[in-house]
Amino acid sequence: MSTRFGVIGCGYVGMSFAMFARRRGFEVTGTTTSPMRLQELCDVVDHPRICRAGDPSADFSFLDQLDGLLIAIAPTDSPEANTYENVFASGVSAIVDAISKRRSQKPLHVTYLSSAGVYGDQSGKMTNELSLPDRSDPTNSLLVAAEESVLSLNSKSIQACVLRLGGIYGPGKDIQNHIKSAAGQHVAKNGNHRNAWVHLFDIISGVFFCYDRKLDGIFNLVDEMQMSRRELANSLCEQDGLPPVIWENHDRPGTRIFNARVSNDRIKSHGFKFKVPSMMDQVPV
Ligand SMILES: NC(=O)c1ccc[n+]([C@@H]2O[C@H](COP(=O)([O-])OP(=O)(O)OC[C@H]3O[C@@H](n4cnc5c(N)ncnc54)[C@H](OP(=O)(O)O)[C@@H]3O)[C@@H](O)[C@H]2O)c1
């Protein structure tokens, strides 16, 4: 019998993963919150479903038959209807609740996509999965609580892991050109901060990797580049003979800070190999 895989949140990452999972011969159930996206989903997955986690009428019965599940949700529609709280607090806890109440006891592996942004302000220092997230920021606090809720599923029949992603780049998300389009202009962000990045292809292979090895716990999934915003923009602009982006040297009050060198050693120590070491490298075809 083929592997049955669910993808809650067929957005940018979820939809691509669903396509690759189907190519691998998996039988895929995929969800969207939007009836308008259902047709698009019909073309990609075996069992398309409308499901808004947190909505009391949401139907999670499809969870019963799954071997693997990817949770890839983020607020997409109007912020009033779909706030961070709705998605990462009520939404995630409704999914966790539904998983824990599955009628079947067959083994299930769950991968939850979170963000390396939870490390917040580490003054640019090296951080790994053992470093404490920066919960002083309310968004980080919410995201970490969602991770903890998913990890609480770990039991005899369920393995749950969290992938902390860097900012995503890949087809249709050309961060390099986005940065270059600001050449010579002032950008109201601190240029000294170090961010983390990851290519879509590495997220897709990372989810398969965790599923195949039934990994549990937290893994940073970020590429090898640990440059500051200024260093990254300078190298991109120099390559094309463009003037540099003009960054600030201070933090604006009230902004969410992400300033950390994020280690990817843990997932690599399990044998994971990044296909795209940084956005400065060629993407293999
Ligand atoms: N984008 C980044 O740079 C970045 C960085 C770090 C981590 N991440 C994480 O990576 C994951 C995937 O990101 P993405 O770029 O693929 O997101 P995306 O394109 O915005 O897609 C989000 C998906 O979540 C669905 N969704 C929203 N609210 C929901 C709810 N209450 N219940 C069920 N589904 C819901 C959306 O449904 P519809 O189909 O109806 O829109 C959509 O399919 C997210 O968890 C995000 O936090 C992203």
Is 158 contained in some domain?
yes
pLDDT per position as a tens digit, 5-41: 999 999 999 999 999 999 999 999 999 999 999 999 9
- The pLDDT assigned to 58 comes to 96
Sheet holding 158-165, edge to edge: 47-50, 27-32, 4-8, 68-71, 108-115, 158-165, 217-221
- The pLDDT assigned to 111 comes to 98
- Is 82 a pocket residue for ligand 1 (Cβ < 6 Å)? yes
Among 3-12, 71-80, 131-140, 175-184, which is the least confidently predicted range? 71-80
H or E segment to which residue 124 belongs = strand 121-127
Distance separating alpha carbons of residues 126 and 61, to the nearest angstrom? 42
Question: Within 10 Å of residue 62's Cβ, how many Cβ atoms?
Answer: 18
pLDDT per position as a tens digit, 180-197: 999 999 999 999 999 999
Is 63 contained in some domain?
yes
Q: Across residues 201-228, what is the average pLDDT?
A: 98
Percent of the chain whose pLDDT exceeds 70 = 98
User: pTM (2 decimals)?
Assistant: 0.97
Beta strands of 171-245 (E only): which ranges?
A: 186-190, 197-199, 217-221
Half-sphere exposure in the Cβ direction for 127 (13 Å, CA): 30
Q: Ligand 1: which of 38, 73, 82, 200 to mutate, most ligand atoms within 8 Å of CB? A: 73
Q: Ligand 1: which of 8, 13, 49, 51 to mutate, most ligand atoms within 8 Å of CB? A: 13
- Is 53 a pocket residue for ligand 1 (Cβ < 6 Å)? yes
Is 277 contained in some domain?
no
Number of domains into which the chain is organized: 1
Is 250 contained in some domain?
no
Is 65 contained in some domain?
yes
CATH number of the domain that residue 117 is part of: 3.40.50.720
> Which residue segment(s) compose the domain that 160 sits in?
4-169+196-224+258-269
Is 93 contained in some domain?
yes
SS3 at position 13: helix
Is 200 contained in some domain?
yes
